[in-house]
Amino acid sequence: MNSKSTAFKHKPIPWMYSTMGSMLAAALIKLNPIQRRLTELEIRNIQDYFNSDFISPAQRRRIDNLTAFMMTYLNAIRRMTKVSKQARQDYYALQRQGCFAVTELPRLQEPLYKDTQKLPLLIVPGLNTPPVFFREMYGYFTEKGYNVSVMALPDNGLADVATAAAKLEEEVSFLKQQCDVSKINVIGHCLGGVIAHYWLETLGQKAGNSPIENLVSLGTGFMGAEGVQQLKNIWIPRNPNKPVPKVFDELINWNLNVVRNSTEVAYHSLITIWDFMVHFRKGILEAATDGSCRVNNLIIDDPDIDHLTIALNHEVFQKIDRMLSAGKAPTPQLV
């Protein structure tokens, strides 16, 4: 992995990466106008969760707006203590669009593990999220014996989904060739999950032979990403001389009912109850009742995990590792 950049080492606010400093930084970020709009969606998610059939009748209860706001705000602060210092550095670099500790993650030119039984792993970033944000995930799975690569989306994810899917096809072919395998595993965060599913169902199925063994989606809005509407509303006045990226409307209106075409791929959809991008009940990918595809839906009800920290949390990585090792999806469950 590349060495740390000098600019990052001399950031004027290193306190925000410490345990206590990260909690204060999260509290301040939550006051940002953008975050306040996304918090409204988090509040609705947590209220719907406690009124849903996803939990037992004993746990079901109504939560007013103030209670839901306090839960959302306090857990946003608390979850910063549940990830590593490295993950906090990347989290705040993304929030501030600041300098990351590494400039890039190396593209896999030669397998680190040549005799491993584990399939190579390709990580697909989300909207406006640089590949270096996933260095925590990259490092974890590399240490577990996977040959890992993180792709860069065209225009940092602001290109339309079809353009990104064509780029993904190149990355899949490249990784298969470098590791001399017929199949790989894919993890897509947010938009990355949409792109991976779109590519697989429209471009990736050739003669019934799928190049994907497991496709894991993290915080992906298969039935539309509501938080993107908020981001679009903010993006337009801040960029008056630029055309609005087509991908915004694609994500807002997404309806991926076509993910039923492959019986070879194990689909895994992980979504948190706090997810500010996706209404958690609407965002889940449902399996076909006739068993024509394999889908494992996991509602992560841990309050220390949200839309961004789902890509930074080692407990999530452990769940994914178990999925990849199992090779197929068990019965949908709450975790």
Among 95-109, 163-177, 319-333, the least confident range: 319-333
Could you give the residue range(s) of every CATH 3.40.50.1820 domain in the chain? 121-334
Cα distance between residue 280 and residue 224, in whole Å: 11
pLDDT at 7 (0 to 100):
41
Tokens 């090792």 belong to which residue? Answer: 325
Q: Which residue from 281, 168, 270, 267 is spatially nearest to 224, judged by alpha carbons?
A: 281
pLDDT band at 331 (very low <50, low <70, confident <90, very high): very low
- pTM for the full model? 0.90
C-alpha angle 312-318-321 in degrees, rounded to nearest 5 = 110
Q: What are the DSSP calls for 105-131, one per residue?
A: PPP-SS-S-SS-SSPPEEEE--TT--G
Cite the DSSP H helix spans in the chain.
6-9, 19-29, 33-50, 65-78, 85-96, 135-143, 161-179, 191-202, 226-238, 246-252, 314-326
Instruction: Quick: pLDDT tens for 122-138.
Output: 999 999 899 999 999 99
Cite the DSSP H helix spans in 51-153.
65-78, 85-96, 135-143
Q: Is the pLDDT of residue 13 over 80?
A: no
The fold of 121-334 is: Rossmann fold (3.40.50)
Higher pLDDT, 98 or 156: 156
pLDDT band at 100 (very low <50, low <70, confident <90, very high): confident
